[in-house]
Amino acid sequence: MDIFIIIAGFAVSAFTAFAFFKAGKFKATSSKETLLQAGFGWIEKIPFGVVRLIAWLEILGAIGVVVAPIGYLLGYAWAIWFAIAAAVGLALTMVGAIWVHAARGETKYTLKMNLNLLVASLVTAGGWFALTLI
């Protein structure tokens, strides 16, 4: 049972990490004009530094949900809590994204993706938390 949880946890974590890393890297490396042309209209009303902060939080969260469980497998039992914290942080990022897009009336275009990433983050956190209970 442990091995199934670990394999499933890594599979969901890999999907979550890939999605957030890709989104974070795009926000971290693109200019404001490029992001606006790509449909990121929400960045018009906030300082661009906040966009970069969100990008780096997504990148760090993506790294955390993959690297921390490796530490757990290497014998550092406390490392799994970093993966859980990273996944919960990514889930909170998606709650904020849903809220911002709802306020801007963009949920028709963004809700499905945001909910998928929210669920993936919560499943990642729940899977790694389940490992701590075993």
pLDDT tens-digit map of 29-47? 999 999 999 989 889 888 9
pTM for this model (two decimals): 0.89
Q: Tell me: the pLDDT tens digits for 3-27? A: 777 787 788 889 999 999 999 999 9
Burial level of 91, CB count in 10 A (0-12/13-18/19+)?
Answer: buried
Output the pLDDT for position 1: 56
Residues 110, 29, 91, 50: is their CA dihedral positive or negative? negative
